[in-house]
Structure 1
């Protein structure tokens, strides 16, 4: 997975209307908490070996298990075949916030750092905003 030079607006405008609306709604929520960050488009093979395009917010340096420093994003959003994924790379109380707040996030499926949902109405927006706020604080401390 690599950060590209693709433009956010060009990418979103290329989506079908349903996906475009969802991505724009999620984008507005994220930008409420990440107002000064640039959006980055990441492409390539992601966890599990699938080819993906992810909109990343809050780029930062992180260390992989092999000690290699890599650039990554604090929050990411992707369109999957049958759902949307919100990736939150923030930790609270030694666990990813997606897992910590899983019971409060709504009608979603939770991975280690991901929240998958079929429509935006399935999300508990208050809880999503809370974990985005946690991610933003951690991103600011990481800069």
Structure 2
């Protein structure tokens, strides 16, 4: 994936229906919690090979287990075919924050760094805010 010049607001206005409404509401929440950090589009194939459009908040240099660090986002927001995803690329004590917060985030599925859910109403927004705040605290070099 690569950081692109696509305008985030134009992209979000183009997402239709309930997913669009949820994306815009979540964007507002995430942007407020991560105020002052970059907010840009990331586009292209994700590691699994599927093309993605992700709103990325906060640029970071993320170490990889094998090889050099990669430029990435601290938090990402994406609409998939059947669900929404929020990616939180921050860890504490060797574990992604998402895993530690899984039981507080609401009616969601949790992967290593991903939260997936059908609608924004499924997410405990207070727990999400707390997670975002902690992610920011743990990555003071995010830009």
> RMSD across aligned C-alpha pairs, in angstroms?
1.4
Q: The residue matched to 1:49 in structure 2 has which SS? A: coil
Please identify runs of 4+ aligned residues in structure 1 that moved more than 4 A: none
Shift of 1:138: 2.2
CA-to-partner distance for each residue in 1:96-117, whole Å, 9 max, x for gaps? 1111111111100110000001
Shift of 1:40: 1.0
**Mapping of 1:1-143 within 5 angstroms?**
1-142=1-142
TM-score by length of 2: 0.93
Shift of 1:23: 1.0
Shift of 1:66: 2.7
Shift of 1:32: 2.1
Shift of 1:25: 0.8
TM-score by length of 1: 0.93
Q: The residue matched to 1:47 in structure 2 has which SS? A: coil
With 121-130 and 16-25 compared, the bigger mean Cα shift is at: 16-25
- CA–CA separation in structure 1 for the residues paired with 2:22 and 2:2: 23
Q: The residue matched to 2:56 in structure 1 has which SS? A: strand
Flag structure 2 segments of 5+ consecutive residues without an equivalent: none
Paired residues in the alignment total 143
